């Protein structure tokens, strides 16, 4: 009566038997009870062993947790190894949280050899809906001819992730985290103090790498402390890496030109060896970029080593910071300024016809226009020689005066009247009585020889002096009223007072 009607047993498996109507169920129950009674009295239940279920496929999620996590939307395979007494059995896959277990799938197996292992395989396209969170995946082996209780079971605990869920509460869905390779169980996968959402959507750094640009600074340190770009090792693009700027040079990794001197940090460090944190590396009063354009040394406050700092030469004395003797008088600029008080722009400061170096050498005062024979001297031998010279000059003068008083002819063979220039002005001349011509006398002499008017460029050509010297000399003479400068196009016309061309007057004059 009971043979062939046991099928899948009772409970869930009974529902699969097409002949299981009410009367059939009653018969089956009776048969099962009888069979179990007989089996129990004849022999014990079959011995069955089942290994823990193994899960394979894309569903497995790599996490830092010791627990197994699976993507609920991914296909997977669940396998289990079964051994035991020969017979026909039913193997079922169930899943649940311990309160509401669900039978997922069952499959029959036949064991013929107790020494052989039967592998049961369940292929699934996804985990069942509504089975998220902590779940137990179980494999149960049932005897087709016995009760609904499994002969043996084995299970694995795992956590099923929902596709649109957010297990770690970092505002990134579980699916997005798996696609990006981040850990859905950690808010900050790479533990760099930037959570996964910040790195993925705000910063653009790699949430799986603590140092995205590999510059030795973690992404969190770059963003939160230095405000540098964690995706590049040179945030400001100046050629110096962020860690070098921060730890080696002390410069700003977010500014190409830390000190604002128009030289980028890389150029200062590698090309000029100047201080990228100071606009004026040698502290001489001139910025580094200006020194480079002028040709002075931005690392040496006194490029020409004349005792005057470059800044003082440019801004105060107007001397040449690359020439230790700007006026070429044989005295260095610093010596003129600090020791003698002479003008480093004038070879003859006092205009007495003797250059400053000669006066210093002779012991005369280079800033006093007294004739050098009467100037005080430091050298006693020179003082004695000067005294002898004075006596000789006085004696010659007295003798000359006495001859004139006696009516004797003068020793001079030429008229003492200065020659008259073509324009009627008396020209200047160099005489034994007046000594060498001064620079101003030289200019006046040239003007007399050229009718009282000359172009400035003509003066430069005829004197052989530098343009700068001529320009400074003419400016002083104009200030003293000795000459008049008239701009004619891009040239200056130099005249003596009263020799100006008529067209140079005011438009309101008659």
Burial class (CB in 10 A: 0-12, 13-18, 19+), 344: buried
pLDDT higher than threshold 50 for residue 23: no
Same domain, 145 and 203: no
308 within domain boundaries: yes
pLDDT value at position 19? 34
Q: Is 57 or 374 the better-scoring residue by pLDDT?
A: 57
Within a domain: residue 395? no
Q: Are residues 153 and 205 in the same domain?
A: no
Q: Which residues contact 173 (CB under 8 A, 6 or more apart)?
A: 163, 164, 165, 166
71, pLDDT greater than 90: yes
Q: Could you tell me if residue 126 is inside a domain?
A: yes
379-417 confidence digits (pLDDT tens) = 455 556 556 665 776 777 766 666 655 555 444 443 334
Q: Which residue has the higher pLDDT, 496 or 2?
A: 496
The domain total for the chain is 4
Share of the chain above pLDDT 70, in %: 77
Residue 203: CB atoms within 10 A of its CB come to 19
- What band does 214 get if pLDDT is binned at 50, 70 and 90? very high
Residue 47 has pLDDT above 60, yes or no: yes
Q: Are 155 and 25 in a shared domain?
A: no
Q: Which of 319, 336, 353 is the last residue of a domain?
A: 319
- Above 50 in pLDDT, residue 456? yes
Query: In the Cβ-directed half-sphere of 386, how many Cα atoms lie within 13 Å?
Result: 16
| Position 78 in a domain | yes
How many residues are given for the chain? 510
Whether 240 and 112 map to the same domain: the answer is no
d(CA 475, CA 509): 26
Supply the DSSP symbol for 90: E
Lowest mean per-residue pLDDT among 4-18, 134-148, 332-346: 4-18
* Residue 449 belongs to a domain: yes
Query: Is the pLDDT score of 361 beyond 80?
Result: yes
Q: Let me know whether 200 and 286 are in one domain.
A: yes
219 lies in the same domain as 310 = yes
Query: Nearest 10 degrees: CA dihedral of 28, 32, 33, 39?
Result: 160
Which is more confidently placed, 49 or 437? 49
Pick 311 or 428 by higher pLDDT: 311
In a domain, 354, yes or no: no
Q: Which of 161, 185, 203 is the last residue of a domain?
A: 161
Bridge-based pairing state of the strands 152-161 and 68-71? parallel
Q: Sign of torsion, CA 177 182 186 191?
A: negative
The answer to the question of residue 509 being in a domain is: no
Name which of 155-164, 254-263, 420-429 the model is least confident about.
Answer: 420-429
Lowest mean pLDDT among 39-48, 51-60, 237-246, 284-293: 39-48
Q: Which has the higher per-residue pLDDT, 36 or 487?
A: 487
Distance of CA 243 to CAs 191, 222, 246, 257, Å? 20, 10, 5, 16
Q: What are phi and psi of 147, to 5 degrees?
A: -75, 180
Helix, strand or coil, per DSSP, at residue 125: coil
| 194 and 68 within one domain | no
Give which of 232, 244, 279, 287 is closest to 259, Cα–Cα.
279
Same domain, 38 and 54: no
Domain hosting residue 444, numbered range:
439-504
Assign residue 495 a region (left: φ > 0; alpha: ψ between -120 and 50; beta: otherwise): beta
CATH number of the structural domain spanning residue 127: 2.60.40.10
* Secondary structure of residue 266 in the 3-state scheme: helix
Residue in 107, 113, 105, 59 with CA at minimum distance from that of residue 83: 113
Q: In this structure, is residue 280 part of a structural domain?
A: yes
Res. 501 pLDDT band, cuts 50 70 90: confident
* Domain CATH code at residue 455: 1.10.10.10
Q: How confident is the model at residue 508 (pLDDT cuts 50, 70, 90)?
A: very low
Q: Are residues 68 and 32 in the same domain?
A: no
pTM value is 0.57
pLDDT at 22: 42
Q: Are residues 156 and 64 in the same domain?
A: yes
Phi-psi group of 468: left, alpha or beta (phi > 0 → left; psi -120 to 50 → alpha; rest → beta): alpha
- pLDDT higher than 80, residue 419: no
Of 319, 336, 364, at which residue does a domain stop? 319
C-alpha span between 253 and 265 (Å, rounded): 10
Look at residue 392 in the predicted model and tell me its pLDDT: 77
Residues 209 and 306 in one domain: yes
The percentage of the chain sitting over the pLDDT mark of 90, rounded to a whole number, equals: 65
- Same-domain check for residues 293 and 180: yes
């Amino acid at each position: 009566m009971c043979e062939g009607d046991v099928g899948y047993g009772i409970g869930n498996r009974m529902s699969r038997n097409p002949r299981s109507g009410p009367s059939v169920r009653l018969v089956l129950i009776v048969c099962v009870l009888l069979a179990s009674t007989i089996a129990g009295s004849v022999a014990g239940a079959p011995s069955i062993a089942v290994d823990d279920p193994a899960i394979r496929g894309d569903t497995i999620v790599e996490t830092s947790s010791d627990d197994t996590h699976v993507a609920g939307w991914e296909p997977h395979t669940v396998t289990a190894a079964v051994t035991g007494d020969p017979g026909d059995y039913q193997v079922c896959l169930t899943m649940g949280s311990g309160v509401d277990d669900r039978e997922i799938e069952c499959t029959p197996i036949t064991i013929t050899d107790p020494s052989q292992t039967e592998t049961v395989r369940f292929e699934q396209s996804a985990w069942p809906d509504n089975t998220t969170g902590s779940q137990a995946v179980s494999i149960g082996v049932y005897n087709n001819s016995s009760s609904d209780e499994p002969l043996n079971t084995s299970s694995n605990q795992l956590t099923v992730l929902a596709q649109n869920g957010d297990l770690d509460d970092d505002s990134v869905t579980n699916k997005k985290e798996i696609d990006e390779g981040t850990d859905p169980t950690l808010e900050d996968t790479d533990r760099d103090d930037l959570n996964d959402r910040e790195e993925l959507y705000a910063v653009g750094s790699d949430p799986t790498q603590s140092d995205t640009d590999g510059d030795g600074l973690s992404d969190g340190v770059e963003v939160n402390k230095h405000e540098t770009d964690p995706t590049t090792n040179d945030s400001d693009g100046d050629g110096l890496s962020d860690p070098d700027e921060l730890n080696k040079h002390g410069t700003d990794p977010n500014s190409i030109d830390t000190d604002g001197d128009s030289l980028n940090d890389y150029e200062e460090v590698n090309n000029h060896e100047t201080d990228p944190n100071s606009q004026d590396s040698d502290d001489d009063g001139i910025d580094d970029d200006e020194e480079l354009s002028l040709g002075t040394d931005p690392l040496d406050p006194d490029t020409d080593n004349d005792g005057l700092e470059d800044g003082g030469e440019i801004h105060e004395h107007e001397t040449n910071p690359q020439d230790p003797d700007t006026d070429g008088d044989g005295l260095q600029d610093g010596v003129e300024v600090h020791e003698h008080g002479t003008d480093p722009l004038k070879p003859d400061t006092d205009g007495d016809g003797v250059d400053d170096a000669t006066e210093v050498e002779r012991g005369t005062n280079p800033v006093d226009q007294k004739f050098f024979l009467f100037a005080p001297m430091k050298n006693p031998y020179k003082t004695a020689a000067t005294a002898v010279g004075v006596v000789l000059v006085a004696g010659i003068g007295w003798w000359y005066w006495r001859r004139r008083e006696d009516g004797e002819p003068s020793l001079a063979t030429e008229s003492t009247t200065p020659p008259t220039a073509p324009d009627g002005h008396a020209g200047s001349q160099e005489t034994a009585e007046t000594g060498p011509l001064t620079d101003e006398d030289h200019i006046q002499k040239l003007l007399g020889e050229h009718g009282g008017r000359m172009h400035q460029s003509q003066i430069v050509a005829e004197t052989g002096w530098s343009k700068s010297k001529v320009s400074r000399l003419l400016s002083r003479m104009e200030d003293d009223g000795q000459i008049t400068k008239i701009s004619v196009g891009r040239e200056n016309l130099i005249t003596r007072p009263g020799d100006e061309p008529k067209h140079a007057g005011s438009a309101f004059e008659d």
